[in-house]
Amino acid sequence: MKKLLCGAALSALLAGSNAELAVAQTPKNTPRTSIALKHGAHDLGKRTDPMMERWRNYGLGQFLHWGVYAIAGGHWEGKYYGGAAEWIRSWREMPKDAYDNLYKQFDPKDFDAKAWAKQAKDMGAKYMIITTKHHDGFCLWPSEFTDYDVSNSPYKKDIIGPLVEAYDAEGIDVYLYFSVIDWNHPGYRSVLKTEEDREEYEEFKEFTKNQLVELLERYPSTKGLWFDGTWDAAWKEQAAFADELEAELREMVPGLIIGSRFRPDDYGNRHFDSNGDLMGDYEQGWERKLPKTIEDVKGNDWDCVMTVPENQWGYHSDWRGHVKTSFELIEMLVRSVALNGNFVLNFGPNGEGGIRKEETQLAAEIGDWMDVNHEAIYDCGYLDWEKQDWGYYTQDRKTGKIYMVVFNMPLNGALRVKTPDKVKLDKVYSLQDGKKFTPEEIHKNEYFIHYNSEEKIKSPMVIVIESTSGEEGSDQVYQKAKT
Ligand code: FHN
């Protein structure tokens, strides 16, 4: 499998100018140690193979939370449940038995995999993550290993297969969400207290493994697994099992992508092992929150998964509290890309398989913006220029083009740009209409780009900078360019 940075190279990195970055991989309050681990991170540094490069350049993804919880939609017998809709089974007002029988009503007449995929495509998503099984254990595919699946619902048909097919057809990569927590399996435990617990949990582990292998066998075009529900004490004891299983799954699908939420290390640490090294291909801890600075991401790949309301993943018919606008979501998307991450926006279809009007509207608004401005998102990442208050820089990793994504247009239209030494701004123009700007140099390495339109910008605008970095002596060229 991947081997990216050997011990010697790592020492060199630590000794060199990137030392801060490498050391920064140690989580706060954890001293840098070298504990011998059998099941810690096996590879250090970023994966550079084509599948991971592809992942890194997605920019925007779609998350889909769908299951029988969508039928309840955050209510039970007229009472409102204020928690996340997909957790309603854990609410004391809803009898477990009632929840566990909801699947008998699962018959989503409006489900149209192609329409979902088309909407995601129009929004500009490059990958999609679908909940094959959430914590309740209900499987959206016909599983050989449980009866609690779609084949025993009135709908009867596989949901995952048509989704994989439809999204593949739209050129959107599919990732399978899988919850290790499974409230339906008799062997599932959150804590292992007795010998009997341990015995039953062994069966649960076997079941988990069987289901994962089954998913990859059934849907071989899967690009990765998105794990969840791995925080239980019982699972945190399973370092050896999870390590072996992860290796087996990676064998099945070359290039398979798995984030940091799957396996614990020998001491039960998750995401980062006891030495502070990332376990998995990317950091999976940015949920409903975003990093503020590049230091926060510790040099790792990462994704942010985001809800439209405050904390609803599955369908809740009654969104209360703050509901995000497309402007806010686009800013989150751009901030993610500017800090080398992907942004994944969640959708929670209803019990009939329909996508709610708010989500449809947001998808369309984001899509309209992406239509014009996707160049500033796809294949783009961090640019090491001083951040300015108007918004974010992104840079195309292949062409080197720089994008200024402006969210806060100054009243006088003067957009400050500070460049590193010896950088020359060759061409500056609007991505929307190609209109050229002539930067005004106000100091060495500092410019104003004047946006002089009377028109107030309605959506975040993008200015492209094509620049060159000069060698020694190029200051002169740069100085000449001033006159
Ligand atoms: O408990 C789940 C939650 O319902 C949702 O699936 C999110 C998505 O990342 N994950 C868990 C909380 O971390």
Q: How far is the CA of 402 from the centre of ligand 1 (A)?
A: 35
Q: What is the pLDDT of residue 456?
A: 79
Q: Which of 282, 288, 313, 347 to mutate to test the pocket of ligand 1 (most atoms within 8 A of CB)?
A: 313
Q: Which of 68, 225, 228 to mutate to test the pocket of ligand 1 (most atoms within 8 A of CB)?
A: 228
Q: Is the CB of 160 under 6 A from ligand 1?
A: no
What are residue 149's DSSP bridge partners? Answer: 139
Q: How far is the CA of 215 from the centre of ligand 1 (A)?
A: 20
Q: Are 225 and 176 in contact (CB under 8 A)?
A: yes
Topology at the third CATH level for domain 10-379: TIM Barrel (3.20.20)
Topology at the third CATH level for domain 383-466: Immunoglobulin-like (2.60.40)
Task: Give 290-334 pLDDT, tens digit per residue.
Answer: 999 999 999 999 999 999 999 999 999 999 999 999 999 999 999
Q: What is the pLDDT of residue 457?
A: 83
Q: Which of 177, 287, 316 to mutate to test the pocket of ligand 1 (most atoms within 8 A of CB)?
A: 287
* CA-to-CA separations, 469 to 393, 418, 478, in angstroms, rounded: 17, 14, 10
Q: What is the pLDDT of residue 397?
A: 98
Q: Is the CB of 305 under 6 A from ligand 1?
A: yes
Q: Is the CB of 84 under 6 A from ligand 1?
A: yes
Alpha helices in 295-441 (DSSP H): 326-338, 357-373
CA–CA gap between residue 293 and residue 473 (Å, rounded): 33
CATH 3.20.20.80 domain range(s) in the chain: 10-379
What are residue 224's DSSP bridge partners? Answer: 175, 257
Q: What is the pLDDT of residue 458?
A: 84
**Which protein residue's CA is at the shortest distance from atom 1 of ligand 1?**
229
- Taking the CA of residue 314 as reference, the ligand 1 atom at the shortest distance is 4
- Taking the CA of residue 63 as reference, the ligand 1 atom at the shortest distance is 8
Q: Are 364 and 122 in contact (CB under 8 A)?
A: yes
Q: How far is the CA of 205 from the centre of ligand 1 (A)?
A: 21
Q: Is the CB of 344 under 6 A from ligand 1?
A: no
Q: Which residue has the tokens 């939370």?
A: 65
- Taking the CA of residue 65 as reference, the ligand 1 atom at the shortest distance is 6
Q: Is the CB of 313 under 6 A from ligand 1?
A: yes
- Taking the CA of residue 305 as reference, the ligand 1 atom at the shortest distance is 9
**Which protein residue's CA is at the shortest distance from atom 4 of ligand 1?**
86
Q: Are 70 and 349 in contact (CB under 8 A)?
A: yes
CA–CA gap between residue 223 and residue 226 (Å, rounded): 10
CATH 2.60.40.1180 domain range(s) in the chain: 383-466
Q: How far is the CA of 287 from the centre of ligand 1 (A)?
A: 8
Buried b (16+ CB within 10 A) or exposed e, 341-359: bbbbbbbbbbbebbbbeeb
- Taking the CA of residue 177 as reference, the ligand 1 atom at the shortest distance is 6
Q: Is the CB of 331 under 6 A from ligand 1?
A: no
Tokens of 48: 């550079």
Q: Is the CB of 287 under 6 A from ligand 1?
A: yes
Q: How far is the CA of 434 from the centre of ligand 1 (A)?
A: 42
Q: Are 464 and 402 in contact (CB under 8 A)?
A: yes
Q: Is the CB of 86 under 6 A from ligand 1?
A: yes
CA–CA gap between residue 209 and residue 369 (Å, rounded): 42
What is the DSSP pairing of strand 341-347 with strand 60-64? parallel
E strands, 323-458, where? 341-347, 380-381, 391-396, 402-406, 414-418, 423-430, 440-443, 446-450
- Taking the CA of residue 87 as reference, the ligand 1 atom at the shortest distance is 4
Q: What is the pLDDT of residue 13?
A: 32
Spans of the chain below 50 pLDDT: 1-28, 472-483
CA–CA gap between residue 438 and residue 428 (Å, rounded): 7
Q: How far is the CA of 135 from the centre of ligand 1 (A)?
A: 9
**Which protein residue's CA is at the shortest distance from atom 6 of ligand 1?**
313
- Taking the CA of residue 131 as reference, the ligand 1 atom at the shortest distance is 6
Q: Is the CB of 64 under 6 A from ligand 1?
A: no
Q: What is the pLDDT of residue 33?
A: 58
Q: What is the pLDDT of residue 208?
A: 99
